[in-house]
Structure 1
Amino acid sequence: MTAAENRAAVLAKLAEIEAEHAKALAGGGPKYTERHHGRGKLLARERVELLVDPDSPFLELSPLAGWGSEYPVGASLVTGIGVIEGTECLITANDPTVRGGASNPWTLRKALRADEIALANRLPVVNLVESGGADLTGQKEIFIPGGALFRDLTRLSAAGIPTVAVVFGNSTAGGAYVPGMSDHVIMVKERSKVFLGGPPLVKMATGEESDDESLGGAEMHARVSGLADHFALDEPDALRTARRVVARLNWRKQGPPPADDYPEPLFDAEELLDVVPPDLRTPFDPREVIVRVVDGSEFDEFKPLYGPSLVTGWARLHGYPVGVLANARGVLFSAESQKAAQFVQLANQRDIPLIFLHNTTGYMVGKEYEQGGIIKHGAQMINAVANSRVPHISLLIGASYGAGHYGMCGRAYEPRFLFAWPTAKSAVMGPAQLAGVLSIVARQSAAARGKPYDEEADAALRAMVEQRIEAESLPLFLSGRLYDDGVIDPRDTRTVLGLCLSAAHSAPVEGVRGGFGVFRM
């Protein structure tokens, strides 16, 4: 296909993604937005905007969480990385226009993923709290795993990573432990309500008559219980105070700083829309992506003539040194696997972060390749990636199927960040291949039982399976289940990777030295 056709296909997919993003941005809709504003309160994203430094970027995470479920897109929670008084922080904000900010199962998963990112990258956490607690209709999926939220707050604090809670409204029952376990707590006059049990529950449990303010209001917690460290007069005052708290953290990054000056790529990022064909069976050269993302378009390739289906090499991105692994022809052979294992080891020796650009159908199969050792060679690559300790950032730009997804540092291998282009697909294998395998197995089973095979039913089964696997391999489905951290516009790739690298350098950047386990030779 032509570049223009590729572009048109990507733009169509982007429009679909943006329409779903718009649902998350809309929150509970105009009715509840107007009601919230009518009470003199800010929306979740308005609070974030006032919290972060003017004109600074905010890298939103998991904006499509809950897509395809019975719950609203976005899961009534905003999470992301923003700069506050020059310090990169992990920020979460309940959206009270969606069922009062109540947490559903996807809210919980999204919040836990945010905590993972904060802990791995050593980012201070600022929680903007206004929630009615758990959505009781889904309590069976929230209560047991939900305790991990409070566990994470204590572990972050124990690791020396500051946690700040700014309470704008309700933070009741289990939610009371969010401020209770945070290092710094800010509450808003006549707005914040923090108690384990509200007046009705207290009445039922003890017979005691009480009101919101005396039981859990901001002034009571500031004057009597001591839970509030700062007493804010209104929401802007609370956000100003939060900025001052972060400014006084005296926070220092532990990773090496980027180069002071670095050149922009020589090629236009707009051209990234032209690179990936809509039919992922059509190969494309990942170098066309790399030179439009890295500093000065300078890429020093490693072993270019060996294992050519995997491109590896060194570059800089926003001044940070990086190693890049990018699939060139989809299939990973033995040579590519061994090349990758060596490259990952070299990156760990030099303490250089790794970026994985996925477009793989997996490891090669067949008698010749099995006899040639594809299993042990693929295992070497997976071993190296699994035990590597430098920051990993994965970006799905095309296919990411089977064990190739694992070898290229898929979600299960805990990359610091994992994003996807709207062209990406990920599954155990391609839809046609999976449907074909099921057909062959069914055909063999019928032959073993001496029964005729129903070709018409087989065709219907294959069509149904292909359709289902195709739907389940698309970015909306995967992002809705938090198998990535978001679907990004290809033209934003350099910016997103730069923000991720900067965040990762808040923690030490150190590779493993020899601790890769046994490499089967």
Structure 2
Amino acid sequence: MTVLDSALDTTGPEYREHREAMLAKLAALDAEHAKALAGGGEKYVARHRGRGKLLARERIELLLDPDTPFLELSPLAAWGSEAPAYTVGASLVTGIGVVEGVECLITANDPTVRGGASNPWSLKKALRAHDIALANRLPLISLVESGGADLPSQKEIFIPGGAIFRDLTRLSAAGIPTVAVVFGNSTAGGAYVPGMSDHVIMVKERAKVFLGGPPLVKMATGEESDDESLGGADMHARVSGLADHFAVDEPDALRQARRVVARLNHRKAYRDPGPAAPPKYSEDELLGIVPGDLKTPFDPREVIARIVDASDYDEFKPLYGTSLTTGWAGLHGYPVGILANARGVLFSEESQKAAQFIQLANQRDIPLLFLHNTTGYMVGREYEQGGIVKHGAMMINAVSNSKVPHLSVLMGASYGAGHYGMCGRAYDPRFLFAWPSAKSAVMGPQQLAGVLSIVARQSAAAKGQPYDDEADAGLRAVVEQQIEAESLPMFLSGRLYDDGVIDPRDTRTVLGLCLSAIHTAPYQGARGGFGVFRM
């Protein structure tokens, strides 16, 4: 075995400083997660409970197999949304959990937030969940209680919102089961969620499924009607046939949902690998590896040693392109190829090394894990003349056309085209998570502000105009502050540019859950099929 040796001094001042900085970031993250857990706030939670109803996460807990984990996705969706500001979490809970031994993608409306109505961020969050279900062949269970679109924001929902129903039919057509459990209102466009699901369960005297409620029917046709005769669970179970199963209450509905899943005969494409040896080093030590100042480099092998099986890592080309470490390991028994930035900058050698390594992983059908801490590809006359553009393009080409599943974790910086080459969101990793220490933008705040300053100074000189240095300093400060705020992981997570900001100590567990989900669907690496590599 090629067990990694750790040089991390857990008793030194640097480690303590890094740890304290990370813990402070985690405390801030916990405060934002608490907002998502609070839903619509005490008033609306109490009103919901007063109606004898369970909260969204309580429904999920009863649905899942006892003592199994739930990997919640995009919990910070809508964080930092501008006016109108939407509740953190976007009135929807999504994630992966095990039901009757089957890994499923679960979505649950949060009816304490504007009756579970969908806003633009709810839509993006739901569509991301559907993408995950489709890519990984995970049955989709929708726990429904929603008044449909949040009408004041209809202009941002109506047109793209049709993709929700499109996805349900595509999942079904691909042989991926869809199950809808209706606990309350499922009105207007929301009625198509049960209407387009393979299996539908409705709760007695609670579920209300109709395209138009009594007021709309009255306005449109003049007909007098009531909720129950128009769209109640009893009517749909006895008359319309929309309900396949009639539940007497919420626990009964969730029990029936579990029985539906038990009868799906939905099987994983690959067997679970079984128990794996834990890392040699404690995951708690991951808190003290990343510096508070991302300009300070750190060795990603210290991270790898604390997340892979037995801390066993076979490095590929260890003496070539040393700013990027590549190698083979196991993670919860699943084979992975790892690419991790060692000193931030990517040079031509690193780019070529990465392209070859990605091709090897595709030849062997091994998923790839990208651990980000990069300021991007190297710039300057020497490097441009040495071919950094074509070599960086080679790496991006390989990432773009790779067919094995990709996982990405942003540990530190993830700037510029380096974010692309390391499989950022635009390159469709199956899952992408960030640590609280991560930052991502087109470039660092100081560099971006400096570039704008140089361009403005050159423009003034070309026009023969004096340059206001005081105004320039003020502008640079404003730009740096803006870019710094927009680089932070909570800002990016709020826009669903990742699947969640995670505690570094949970990295191995989160990646293990993702790898298990990935192996539900068959995959095969690219055998050729890459674009032209400019040599």
Above 0.5 in TM-score? yes
User: Given residue 91 of structure 1, which amino acid in structure 2 is its aligned partner?
Assistant: I
Q: Does 2:514 correspond to 1:497?
A: no
1:30 alignment partner in structure 2: 42
Q: Out of 377, 383, 394, which is 2:408 matched to? A: 394
2:69 alignment partner in structure 1: 57
Q: Out of 421, 437, 441, which is 2:451 matched to? A: 437
| Matches of 1:74 and 1:136, distance apart in 2 | 18
Deviation at 1:207, TM superposition (A): 1.1
| TM-score (norm: length of structure 1) | 0.99
After superposition, residues 413-452 of structure 1 pair within 5 angstroms as 413-452=427-466
| Matches of 1:193 and 1:130, distance apart in 2 | 9
| Matches of 1:390 and 1:166, distance apart in 2 | 34
| Matches of 2:43 and 2:476, distance apart in 1 | 45
Q: What 5-or-longer segments of structure 1 have no aligned partner?
A: none
User: Given residue 294 of structure 2, which amino acid in structure 1 is its aligned partner?
Assistant: L
User: Given residue 124 of structure 2, which amino acid in structure 1 is its aligned partner?
Assistant: R
Q: Hey, which bits of structure 1, 4+ residues long, moved more than 4 A?
A: none
2:32 alignment partner in structure 1: 20
Query: What secondary structure does 2:145 align onto?
Result: strand
Q: Out of 253, 257, 263, which is 2:271 matched to? A: 257
| Matches of 1:495 and 1:257, distance apart in 2 | 18
Check whether the contact 1:293–1:493 (CA below 8 A) recurs between aligned residues: yes
| Identity %, equivalent residues | 82
| Matches of 2:466 and 2:47, distance apart in 1 | 65
| Matches of 1:494 and 1:387, distance apart in 2 | 26
Deviation at 1:35, TM superposition (A): 1.0
| Matches of 1:233 and 1:190, distance apart in 2 | 8
Deviation at 1:340, TM superposition (A): 0.3
Query: What secondary structure does 2:532 align onto?
Result: coil
| TM-score (norm: length of structure 2) | 0.97
| Matches of 1:411 and 1:261, distance apart in 2 | 31
| Matches of 1:501 and 1:89, distance apart in 2 | 14
Query: What secondary structure does 1:175 align onto?
Result: helix
After superposition, residues 75-154 of structure 1 pair within 5 angstroms as 75-154=90-169
| Matches of 1:198 and 1:436, distance apart in 2 | 57
2:373 alignment partner in structure 1: 359
1:405 alignment partner in structure 2: 419
Q: Aligned pairs, how many?
A: 520
Check whether the contact 1:358–1:400 (CA below 8 A) recurs between aligned residues: yes
Deviation at 1:257, TM superposition (A): 2.6
1:164-197 deviation line (CA, Å, top 9, x unaligned): 0000000011000000000000000000000001
Query: What secondary structure does 1:267 align onto?
Result: coil
Q: Does 2:363 correspond to 1:349?
A: yes
Check whether the contact 1:353–1:509 (CA below 8 A) recurs between aligned residues: no
User: Given residue 265 of structure 1, which amino acid in structure 2 is its aligned partner?
Assistant: P
| Matches of 2:186 and 2:392, distance apart in 1 | 49
| Matches of 2:50 and 2:272, distance apart in 1 | 46
Q: Does 2:215 correspond to 1:203?
A: no
Deviation at 1:65, TM superposition (A): 0.3
Q: Does 2:324 correspond to 1:310?
A: yes
Check whether the contact 1:359–1:399 (CA below 8 A) recurs between aligned residues: yes
1:66 alignment partner in structure 2: 78
Deviation at 1:401, TM superposition (A): 0.2
| Matches of 2:274 and 2:485, distance apart in 1 | 45
Check whether the contact 1:347–1:353 (CA below 8 A) recurs between aligned residues: yes
Check whether the contact 1:10–1:422 (CA below 8 A) recurs between aligned residues: yes
| Matches of 1:188 and 1:258, distance apart in 2 | 35
| Matches of 2:22 and 2:379, distance apart in 1 | 31
After superposition, residues 281-360 of structure 1 pair within 5 angstroms as 281-360=295-374
| Matches of 1:324 and 1:73, distance apart in 2 | 33
Q: Does 2:172 correspond to 1:160?
A: no
| Matches of 1:66 and 1:159, distance apart in 2 | 31
Query: What secondary structure does 1:35 align onto?
Result: helix
| Matches of 2:459 and 2:393, distance apart in 1 | 32
1:292-343 deviation line (CA, Å, top 9, x unaligned): 0000000000000000000000000000000000000000000000000000
Check whether the contact 1:258–1:318 (CA below 8 A) recurs between aligned residues: no
User: Given residue 259 of structure 1, which amino acid in structure 2 is its aligned partner?
Assistant: P
Q: Does 2:206 correspond to 1:191?
A: yes
1:220 alignment partner in structure 2: 235
Check whether the contact 1:62–1:74 (CA below 8 A) recurs between aligned residues: yes
Deviation at 1:251, TM superposition (A): 1.0
2:7 alignment partner in structure 1: none
Check whether the contact 1:352–1:509 (CA below 8 A) recurs between aligned residues: no
Check whether the contact 1:302–1:313 (CA below 8 A) recurs between aligned residues: yes
1:246 alignment partner in structure 2: 261
1:40 alignment partner in structure 2: 52
Query: What secondary structure does 2:209 align onto?
Result: coil
Query: What secondary structure does 2:443 align onto?
Result: coil
Query: What secondary structure does 2:171 align onto?
Result: helix
Q: Does 2:19 correspond to 1:7?
A: yes
User: Given residue 265 of structure 2, which amino acid in structure 1 is its aligned partner?
Assistant: N
User: Given residue 343 of structure 2, which amino acid in structure 1 is its aligned partner?
Assistant: R
1:89-134 deviation line (CA, Å, top 9, x unaligned): 0000000001110111100000000001101111000000000111
